Amino acid sequence: MTHRITILGATGSIGKSTADVLAQHPDGFRVSALVAGSDVRGLAEMARRLGAEFVALSDASKQKPLREALAGTGIASGAGPSAVTEAVEREAETIVAAISGVAGLAPTHAALKAGRRIGLANKESLVCAGTAFMRDAAATGAVILPMDSEHNALAQALASGHPEDVVTMTLTASGGPFRTWDADRIGAATPAQTAKHPTYSMGAKINVDSASLMNKGLELIEAHHLFGLSADQLDVVVHPQSIIHGLVHWRDGAVTAGLANPDMKIPIANCLATERRLPMSVPRLDLAAIGGFTFEPPDEARFPCLRLAKAALSAGGGMPAVLNGANEIAVEAFLAGRASFPDIPRVVEETCAALAGAGRAEPATVEEALALDSEARRVAAGLLPRVTRSAASRL
């Protein structure tokens, strides 16, 4: 039986890796729809390669060039919010939710339909509206499959026991490109340097989040909602080899670890598999060739974003949504050259402090989460000029 797939965020790193997995199994899957932001060429090429039935760009101004790029293929297309909605509504058994940032929250939530499998790579869905999202998934009968390598490893490790026997879970971090840098060098880091991730090739925003360890903090919040563990049951260890992706600690003292080469096609294939695991043409893990593993605690003094994310998780309510919104504004400013790398945690911390009262109530709906996100962005944008001036005056 052919399994129908829709990919949200098709031209991003996760979307491209998903397309590579599908290309290895052309007889097992049928692509119902592909959704991207504004990349006409990339989306059209992927649609042709996978034989997609429908494609959509969120950028409404790209409708004509997209139609021209697909001329003669028979592939239907559209652009703008209504086209994205059409793509989400089309028949599909599995939705790969890989739109980056809070922009992916609404379409991912709209994809929750009875019996659908959601390959979740948009962590903001749970960071900003985790309780509402998981509640609505359960109510509709949608199945959430964690696609991030860390959460996928934890989900697989959980199969060796009962959830109620779990004491703690540990997510691993590569440490990012600045793991061995001192504070002064980190303070002068550039966007180009954040792109030199030691393990994965990713988009600009997630490269910055990985360099600051904010990405790992967001993953802790995501794990809280996926696995129902409290903040004090979740931790992070830096593992530069990026072979162990997650560990489950059991009450009898045993530890189950999820290991794999750092290749996103592996957790993606795990999520796309229905009855049996998919055979994949990926390098096999050779422990003897690796030779050894190393581990170290994360340095929250040099990387305060992890500390801030942990604080938001412990505070609960709407603080994770505030944290995420402020971070997106600060990262955008850094990438645009309007803020330094250390300004990112400064803006996030001050925004969280300013909205500590407003963020006390947990969003009951996706709409409430998006409203809180908008407020956090407004406050963060207002704080940016003062924070950057203050930092510059200390130099």
Digit-coded pLDDT (tens) for 157-198? 999 999 999 999 999 999 999 999 999 999 999 999 999 888
For residue 275, what pLDDT is reported?
85
CA distance 209 to 345: 11
Q: Please indicate, yes or no, if residue 329 is contained in any of the structural domains.
A: yes
Considering only residues 201 and 103, tell me which one the structure prediction assigns the higher pLDDT.
103
Whether residue 200 is found in the same domain as residue 255: yes
For residue 389, what pLDDT is reported?
74
* H helix intervals, the chain: 13-23, 40-50, 63-69, 81-89, 105-110, 124-140, 149-157, 183-187, 191-194, 204-212, 214-227, 265-272, 287-290, 304-315, 319-335, 343-354, 366-393
* H helix intervals, 228-318: 265-272, 287-290, 304-315
What value does the mean pLDDT take over residues 79-102? Answer: 96
Whether residue 161 is found in the same domain as residue 252: yes
For residue 391, what pLDDT is reported?
59
What is the span of the domain harbouring residue 173?
149-262+283-299
Whether residue 203 is found in the same domain as residue 328: no
Residue 322 is part of a domain; what is its CATH number? Answer: 1.10.1740.10
pLDDT in tens, 22-64: 999 999 999 999 999 999 999 999 999 999 999 999 999 999 9
Whether residue 134 is found in the same domain as residue 155: no
Whether residue 293 is found in the same domain as residue 328: no
Residue 40 is part of a domain; what is its CATH number? Answer: 3.40.50.720
Tell me the whole-structure pTM to 2 decimals.
0.95
Q: Could you give the percent of the chain with pLDDT greater than 90? A: 93
Whether residue 288 is found in the same domain as residue 198: yes
- How many CA within 13 A on the CB side of residue 109? 23
Q: Please indicate, yes or no, if residue 184 is contained in any of the structural domains.
A: yes
For residue 390, what pLDDT is reported?
67
Q: Please indicate, yes or no, if residue 271 is contained in any of the structural domains.
A: no
pLDDT in tens, 274-287: 889 999 999 999 99
Q: Please indicate, yes or no, if residue 395 is contained in any of the structural domains.
A: yes
For residue 360, what pLDDT is reported?
82
> Taking 70 as the threshold, does the pLDDT of residue 1 lie above it?
no
Whether residue 137 is found in the same domain as residue 199: no
Count of structural domains within the chain? 3
Mean pLDDT of the chain: 95
